[in-house]
Amino acid sequence: MNYWVLLAVLFVLGLMGIAAYYHVLLYRHKKRQAASADEFKKEIEKRRERGVQSIVILSRAVLAEQVSLTEASIRINALSILLMDKALIEELSVFRQLAEATAHIPILEEWKKLPTKDKLAYDREREKIEETFKDFVMVTADRIANQGMLSKTNISEINTEQVDSVVKEFKP
């Protein structure tokens, strides 16, 4: 009978050892995962800050008429996803609207392939569309460049839900 008790105690001790081993593995895994999540958040913050800086620079270029409203709108619209703040993205909607209104106009290689006549026609069309949006774009660009619309105080802190939503949105 003593052998059975001794065998049971050894069996329980073995199970406790296995449980302790898996507990340590789980602890290490969670620690690595937390460190990885922190690194990821820092990388997102860096990219967001660069995106904000780029948007401010583009807004200044718009105000100085160094870049077309369409080009700035396309770029700002693409960068706005980095803000991860729906209210701010909505405030930049004029850029999205202008980008969408001119989306049918060929760019890059497609533009180069166009005959001069077509390029001139598209330029006239683009200028008409830009004229429609100009006042709104200029006001928004001024708010960004000169009034600090995208200042650090207006950008919400990154939280786990925002990071998770970005990760889910861009998963292949």
Print the SS3 string covering the chain. Answer: CHHHHHHHHHHHHHHHHHHHHHHHHHHHHHHHHHHHHHHHHHHHHHHHHHHHHHHHHHHHHHHCCCCCHHHHHHHHHHHHHHHCCHHHHHHCHHHHHHHHHCCCCCCHHHHHHCCHHHHHHHHHHHHHHHHHHHHHHHHHHHHHHCCCCCCHHHCCCCCHHHHHHHHHHHCC
Under the banding of pLDDT at 50, 70 and 90, the label for residue 27 is very high
Find the mean pLDDT for residues 130-138.
Answer: 96
pLDDT tens per residue, range 87-133: 888 889 999 999 999 999 998 899 999 999 999 999 999 999 999 99
**Share above pLDDT 90 across residues of the chain, in percent, rounded to a whole number:** 61
pLDDT in the model for residue 88: 84
| C-alpha radius of gyration, the chain, whole number | 27
Q: Is residue 66 pLDDT above 70, yes or no? A: yes
pLDDT in the model for residue 129: 96
Query: In angstroms, rounded to a whole number, what is the distance separating the alpha carbons of residues 71 and 62?
Result: 9
Q: Can you give the pTM of this predicted structure?
A: 0.73
Find the mean pLDDT for residues 64-71.
Answer: 95
pLDDT in the model for residue 76: 94
Under the banding of pLDDT at 50, 70 and 90, the label for residue 171 is very low
